[in-house]
Structure 1
Amino acid sequence: MAGVSTQDNGDGDPRRAIELLWGVPAPPRRGPKPKLTTADVVRAAVALADADGIDAVTIRRVAEQLGVSPMAIYTYVPGRAELLDLMIDHAHGELPAPRPGLGWRAALTAIAEHQWALFHRHPWLLQVTTSRSALGPHSFAKYEHELAAVEGIGLDDVEMDAVVSLVTGLVRTTARSSVDQARLVRVSGMTDAQWWERAAPVLAGIPAADAAHYPLSSRVGTAAGQAHNAAENPAHAFRFGLARVLDGIETLVSERQR
């Protein structure tokens, strides 16, 4: 991920974005037949974001990737905000439905693991806001599969939505830490272990930072660092946190059943 800025994609034309997402044809235009399709533009934008980060996705850069003029891109999308909506939905199309017959806990685990992998394939997804994304068919299918995992287990509709938000929020938060950690390694040229090898002697030489002053921090931090060979392990936090979240949901479901 080349940059870490957050991109807002809710300021475009929602009507046109939804029409594009669902394949509603635009009014016919005079002139030669278009050389590209909207899908070509979206794939080029996703490839650009995967390689250089979401900041690199501009109409001009996408046009360069496709060998056309920037004005030609506006034949397919009205602007960058709508293009981001299309990119998000395109990425969500990579998420498979959980295998039939899984229990709710296994289904939610599979959903979370697939989303964790998706964020690592497309780190730019962590840089775009999704609260106002114009929902396309793949994003609808994503939500449908998430809700289907907890359908009929004793939760009401609002609780089902809250459970889905809790799980997907955990995935997003821990995936962001994981992607940021990998970016720091690339930028600095040092692993966490190498960084601490350089920092620890300096810290040890400061009397005020002695372990006697911070006994819990010293003990727990040392144990965690030795276990993970790093200051933090986002993958461990993801799976540990997911298991605890599912434990809590299971307790709620069991109480309802009683």
Structure 2
Amino acid sequence: MYRTRVTVEYSGKGDPARSLALLWRTSERASRKGKPELNVDRIVRAAIEVADAEGLQALSMRRVAERLGVGTMSLYTYVPGKPELFDVMLDTVYGETARPEHAPGDWRGALDRIARENWALYLRHPWLLQVAVSRPPLGPNVTAKYDYELRAVDGIGLTDLEMDSVITLITGFVHGAARGAVEAAQAESATGLTDEQWWAAHAPFLSRIADAGRYPVASRVGQSAGEAFNAAYSPEHAFEFGLERVLDGIETLINRRAPTTRSSRPSA
């Protein structure tokens, strides 16, 4: 995995008309004779590959052109600029999440699947964690993803605003959990130490300086966590534990809104 400095990109910075035309492919030019066959999809895929391998800080029109083996200016025949390209990259990767026609029959199972699909998406494309999407690209994949996720909680007694908030809560939780997982993975490549090696190096010193009498709860709990995870932190455990608690909270809301609605959990 690449090493990266902190880089934040913002979606929606491009020209609205050009971005929307590119997202919905309403005016794509054909390849010119005698030139390598290019199209928007091929350019976008190359840009995603650069971001996956090298991080957002490496992404530029020139770098994408190098990956494709073409001149930089040839890209502008198909893509107005980097901001518009970036919006289409986002929309493209959001199209990777599975949206089965026959989703789990209960809202809890459906939200669990949605959370895991988003978790896997962030791990495949960690650069997504460096993107501020308060102004999302309004492309076909983003729209379809949002519609699919909302259907998981449609018709169960929530208002439209609550439905939107539930999906925001789930995806926001996954975003934070995935950030912890990606940072943990990058720590190993940046330091040259696995979690086990880091823990083994620190444990002997901690046993000498830790004052269990002064910090009794921290000492007890920290020791339990360290023995369980063989590290200071487990991203996978944090995700699993947190997801269950988030779903529990949503269940409380649903039961409060519709007292007669039976719990989605099977009876014992």
- Sort the TM-score into its range (normalised by shorter chain): over 0.9
Find the counterpart in structure 2 of residue 111 from structure 1.
Answer: 114
1:146 corresponds to which of 138, 149, 154: 149
Identity of aligned residues (%): 51
2:82 corresponds to which of 80, 83, 101: 80
Does 1:168 pair with 2:171?
A: yes
1:21 corresponds to which of 6, 20, 23: 23
2:3·2:189 contact (CA, 8 Å) conserved in 1?
Answer: no
Does 1:6 pair with 2:1?
A: no
Residue identity opposite 1:69 in structure 2: G
Q: How many angstroms apart in 2 are the aligned matches of 1:97 and 1:21?
A: 20
2:65·2:72 contact (CA, 8 Å) conserved in 1?
Answer: yes
Give the match's secondary structure for 1:150.
coil
Larger displacement relative to structure 2 (120-129 or 4-13): 4-13
Q: How many angstroms apart in 1 are the aligned matches of 2:22 and 2:49?
A: 19
2:56·2:127 contact (CA, 8 Å) conserved in 1?
Answer: yes
For structure 1, list consecutive stretches of 5 or more residues without a partner in the other structure: none
TM-score normalised over the length of structure 2: 0.89
1:35-46, aligned counterparts within 5 Å? Answer: 35-46=37-48
Find the counterpart in structure 2 of residue 89 from structure 1.
Answer: 91
Give the match's secondary structure for 2:98.
coil
What is the CA distance between 1:176 and its match in structure 2?
0.6
Find the counterpart in structure 1 of residue 262 from structure 2.
Answer: none
From the two aligned structures, give the one with the greater helix fraction: 1
TM-score normalised over the length of structure 1: 0.93
Find the counterpart in structure 2 of residue 66 from structure 1.
Answer: 68
Find the counterpart in structure 2 of residue 236 from structure 1.
Answer: 237
Find the counterpart in structure 2 of residue 248 from structure 1.
Answer: 249
Q: How many angstroms apart in 2 are the aligned matches of 1:224 and 1:175?
A: 20
Aligned-CA RMSD value: 1.9
Report Cα offsets for 1:149-204 as digits up to 9, x if no partner: 00011100110011000000010100010011001111212112211222233344
Larger displacement relative to structure 2 (123-132 or 7-16): 7-16
- Which runs of 4 or more aligned residues in structure 1 lie more than 4 Å from their structure 2 counterparts after TM superposition? 28-34
Larger displacement relative to structure 2 (89-98 or 151-160): 89-98
Find the counterpart in structure 1 of residue 227 from structure 2.
Answer: 226
Does 1:136 pair with 2:139?
A: yes
Does 1:123 pair with 2:126?
A: yes
Find the counterpart in structure 1 of residue 205 from structure 2.
Answer: 202
1:154·1:253 contact (CA, 8 Å) conserved in 2?
Answer: yes
Residue identity opposite 2:211 in structure 1: D
For structure 2, list consecutive stretches of 5 or more residues without a partner in the other structure: 260-268
2:30·2:39 contact (CA, 8 Å) conserved in 1?
Answer: no
